[in-house]
Amino acid sequence: MTTDNRTVQPITVASTGVISSVGQTSGSACAAIRANLSNPTATLFVDSAGQPLMGHCVEMARGWRGRRKLAWMAALAIEECLESLDPDARPNIPVLLCVAEPSRPGRVADLDGLLIRDIQNLLGVRFGAQSAVLAHGRVSVGFALTHAMSLLYQDNGSDSVVVCATDSLISWPSLRVFQEKERLLREGNSNGFIPGEAAVALRLERPSNGAALYVEGIGLARETATFDSDLPLRGEGLAIAIRSALSAAGRDMSQVDFRISDIAGEQYYFKEAALALSRTLRVRKDAFELWHPAECVGETGASIGPLMLVVMNSACQKAYAPGPTVLCHAANDSGERMAIVASYRTQ
């Protein structure tokens, strides 16, 4: 196992944007997730038995696919995220773009070199020179938040940084592989996920007066007993990431009110979350809720990371969260693990 401890300087979530199958604004998507609504539909693809494969698809005016659809979803999420910002302040904001990891089956080509350019052209703005693409799939947001801290606190740092994730598993190259590996949820296979697609954006700032969601700690680690390995799963990698995030936040697990995870339905990841909890929680809690928004939006790859923070932010603003402090965690098939401790503060 390896770990990466992150020194955290306080940053806050100033505004958000979401494009998903259950809502095409932050408000509508979070309301649907709160109500546990889901909207899977038949895709254009069929399984080996000739039955349509279901997916959480984002409906758009045109039948875009591939990089063009990823760019459009990201542009719409960023546009919502920047609505509250003065138009004169929008150009030259650094954008940290979270996308699928290179090993992900069916990954769209040219994400690293062309996707940011496509999004800029759609929005008609130029992002800051320090914009970057972070290709770590579901754990990308951990790397992006760390990078955002350095951009906000460096000399002559930016006043705002946008973290945006855009991803889709609704393509035949992806679905074919996951179907062959029996990882899709369908009749005869309950141990699987429904593929989805989404884009999510966070505008981050240094703290100021007023209520806000604070990112307090980030932990990154690696699990050797990966999804496809024959090694026994003990949840050690995720536990290390969680301990690192808690340490950076100056907290222990007893001070966390609930959890939000990227789990999309597969037993491996539920088992890992349970094992990691047993390794990190040393006091008895009568209730310790685990939320998993992917139940509503599907397996959305890199997009689930920032979506967890959007859900937390909305839950605290509308006072239905179990408490003000949350642990978010995510895991890649390749072994990367990530944990974030965040807290909603009213002052």
- Residue 7 within a domain: no
In a domain, 1, yes or no: no
User: Which segments of the chain have a pLDDT < 50?
Assistant: 1-3, 5-6
* Model pLDDT, residue 100: 97
Same domain, 223 and 195: no
Question: Which tens digits make up the pLDDT trace of 280-323?
Answer: 998 888 889 999 999 999 999 999 999 999 999 999 999 999 99
With respect to residue 41, please indicate whether it lies within any of the assigned structural domains. yes
2 located within any domain: no
**In whole numbers, what is the pLDDT of the chain averaged over residues?**
93
121 & 266 share domain? no
* pLDDT value for 23: 96
Do the domain assignments include residue 5?
A: no
The answer on 254 and 147 residing in a single domain is: no
Regarding whether 170 and 25 lie in a shared domain, the answer is yes
Q: Which of 159, 182, 205 is the last residue of a domain?
A: 205
- The whole-number pLDDT of residue 7 equals 53
- Whether 8 maps to a domain, the answer reads no
Q: How many domains does the chain have?
A: 2
For residue 53, the one-letter residue type is L
Same domain for 217 and 200, yes or no, is no
Q: pLDDT at position 8, please? A: 67
Please tell me whether residues 53 and 179 are part of one structural domain: yes
Q: Is residue 337 part of a domain?
A: yes
pLDDT of res. 1: 47
Alpha-carbon torsion angle 103, 180, 260, 308, nearest 10:
60
Residue at a domain's end among 167, 183, 205: 205
Instruction: Using the 3D structure, point to which of 151, 181, 205 is the last residue of a domain.
Output: 205
CATH code of the domain covering residue 75: 3.40.47.10
User: 132, 308, 298, 290: which is closest to 218 by C-alpha?
Assistant: 308
Q: Residue 317 belongs to what domain range?
A: 212-345
pTM score, whole prediction? 0.95
The reported pLDDT for the residue numbered 87 is 83
261 and 311 assigned to the same domain: yes
